[in-house]
Amino acid sequence: MKPMKMKKLLSAGLLCLASLSTMAQLPVEIKGLLKKKRLTNVKLFKVKEGKAVEMANSVPGTKGQFGFLFYPEYEGLYLIGTGNEGSPNDNYKFYFKGGEELSVSLLDSSYVLTGKKNSKENRVLTQWHDLTNPLEQKAINFMKVQSTFVDYFPEQEEIVAKTKTFLNGKATGNAKFDQEIKKIMAWDLASYATNFLNTPRSAHPSVEEYSNFYSTIKAEDFTKNTASVYNYPYGFRTLTGIIGLNMRQQGKAYKRGPEGVDLFVSFVPNDTLKGDLILDNAAGYKTITDFENLMKGREKYILTASQKMRSANIMNPLLTYKPGTDAFSFAYDDKDGKKVTMASLKGKVVLVDVWATWCSPCRAEIPYLKKLEEEMKGTDVQIISLSTDAVKDKEKWLKMIKDENLGGMQLFAGGPDNEFSKYYKVNTIPRFLVFDKQGKIVTIDSPRPSNPELKALLQKTLAN
């Protein structure tokens, strides 16, 4: 072949590659109007490993206009709405691959496409949304639309029947989407069905009263590969709902701790997804001991680089709370305005009760705490009640100390975002923590006073 001809062919090939590269880099343009009673920021989310992740945030104009211009990281589902990452409320699914334009109006409980340039894929998704919106409203927006199984189950069965012919005549020419929409439909229906069962209602059905559709929802069908879960915006949220449903259908009771985790993941055949579910559970652990007990023998399911990084991110902060490490050095005023520090309590076994006057479970522990204080009298145990009431409620706190004749050492931390609560990640109260005579951590999540195990723990710590 002559050199000149070879040059022309090579140039043509490079031009073709450049064109393909340009196609892959085409942006998506979104123009919208927020037609809600209250204007709030509109968010754009991507889907990462079965969870929604916020990408961008648009502040609507005075007339509600908003917009996004972005390069999609992948071809598939994205979300647009006024909701958040953890819940499907007020977020809507759209399909992008690059080069699309989307014109949309977000309403109080739904959305409508506007303009003439919306893609075939998003028109089909909108038709699907319109068909199943009655289920979404009752299952997802349950605070706005009151419903019980008496009206929901028949409507669900009616809509499920319609879905069998929904895709007739709706081929878009995008082979990937035309396959993906079938999975999206299955996930949506399972999401609505399980969310309905797991949200507050004035009446709840027994398993025997479940409508026919529930018998078709099996965790094993949704977890044959990771992509099935990873590509759906609320894949893991829905999967946990499906597993919970299957457990009830099989009469298997929920269990706490590693044994419960083993039961939960037994419904999933995919090892990588087992690992993700284990890590989801581990994320709620407060001590390194609990984390290590959970992971022992289950490390084989932590397979991907993402999982290994996530495991490390869960574990590393817990090392701060490992028994034998130094306690957080706090300094708070007591009821008389005297400053009390952790250092000043050395030589005492310290039990800290994190509470607030408005907290009913906290108040329920007070009689047991008083009894424990009486039983520990004469020992080197110092009980501290650390109030997380807001500064404006300090007088209310002082009044309750007097009216309820509260004992121990009463300290005021000044709000739920105080340094002690942030350091020990106290997001629910009451929470009890135990420290030894040297000011070292024994546990940052001890049994409550109503549990005899707390007294035994204090006695053991004294003996040590």
Interval 364-393: pLDDT, tens: 999 999 999 999 999 999 999 999 999 999
Query: How far apart, in whole angstroms, are the C-alpha atoms of residue 61 and residue 41?
Result: 10
Q: Does 3 fall in a domain?
A: no
Question: In sequence order, what DSSP letters do the residues of 165-229 get, joined into one string?
Answer: TTTTT---S-HHHHHHHHHHHHHHHHHHHHHHHTS--SS---GGG--GGGGG--HHHH-SSHHHH
- 349 and 251 within one domain: no
Q: Which whole-number Å values give the CA distances from 442 to 145, 410, 426, in the listed order?
A: 48, 21, 16
Cβ atoms of residues 85 and 45 within 8 Å:
yes
- 376 and 250 within one domain: no
- 457 and 332 within one domain: yes
Tens-place pLDDT, residues 227-259: 999 999 999 999 999 999 999 999 999 888 999
CA angle 218-223-228, nearest 5°? 115
182: domain CATH number? Answer: 2.60.40.1120
Task: Give percent of the chain with pLDDT exceeding 90.
Answer: 85
**pLDDT at residue 170, as a whole number:** 95
- 280 and 146 within one domain: no
Nearest to 134 by CA among 152, 112, 150: 152
CA 393 to chain centre: 31
- 105 and 62 within one domain: yes
Q: Does 17 fall in a domain?
A: no
Last-in-domain residue among 185, 220, 255: 220
Greatest Cα pair distance in the chain: 102
- 189 and 228 within one domain: no
Last-in-domain residue among 181, 198, 220: 220
End-to-end CA distance of the chain: 89
Q: Does 87 fall in a domain?
A: yes
Q: Does 12 fall in a domain?
A: no
443: domain CATH number? Answer: 3.40.30.10
Counting the structural domains of the chain, the total is 3
The token pair at 5 is 């001809």
| Residue labelled with tokens 């992008």 | 96
Contacts 24+ apart (CB under 8 A), 54-61: 54/84, 54/85, 60/34
The values of phi and psi at residue 362, to 5°, are: -65, -45
Q: Does 21 fall in a domain?
A: no
Q: Evaluate the omega torsion of the peptide bond into residue 430 and state whether it is cis, within 30 degrees of 0.
A: yes
- 333 and 299 within one domain: no
- 229 and 246 within one domain: yes
Query: How far apart, in whole angstroms, are the C-alpha atoms of residue 221 and residue 223?
Result: 6
- 439 and 354 within one domain: yes
Tens-place pLDDT, residues 262-291: 999 999 999 999 999 999 999 988 888 899
**pLDDT at residue 63, as a whole number:** 93
Q: Does 190 fall in a domain?
A: yes
Q: Strand, helix or coil at 107? A: coil
Query: How far apart, in whole angstroms, are the C-alpha atoms of residue 345 and residue 273?
Result: 47
Decide if pLDDT at 13 tops 90. Answer: no
**pLDDT at residue 320, as a whole number:** 86
- 413 and 301 within one domain: no
Residue 316 structural domain: 221-320
Query: How far apart, in whole angstroms, are the C-alpha atoms of residue 333 and residue 336?
Result: 7
Cβ atoms of residues 244 and 263 within 8 Å:
no
- 260 and 245 within one domain: yes
| Residue labelled with tokens 């490490």 | 325
Nearest to 365 by CA among 285, 308, 449: 449
Q: Strand, helix or coil at 44? A: strand
- 167 and 42 within one domain: yes
What single letter denotes the amino acid at residue 216? T
Decide if pLDDT at 81 tops 50. Answer: yes
Q: Does 93 fall in a domain?
A: yes
Query: How far apart, in whole angstroms, are the C-alpha atoms of residue 422 and residue 216?
Result: 44
The helix (H) or strand (E) run that includes residue 154 is helix 149-163
Tens-place pLDDT, residues 290-348: 999 999 999 999 999 999 999 999 998 888 888 999 999 999 999 999 999 999 999 99
What single letter denotes the amino acid at residue 136? E
Interacting residues of 188 by C-beta distance below 8 A, sequence separation 6+ = 128, 132
Q: Does 382 fall in a domain?
A: yes
Last-in-domain residue among 205, 220, 235: 220
Give the predicted TM-score (pTM) of the model: 0.74
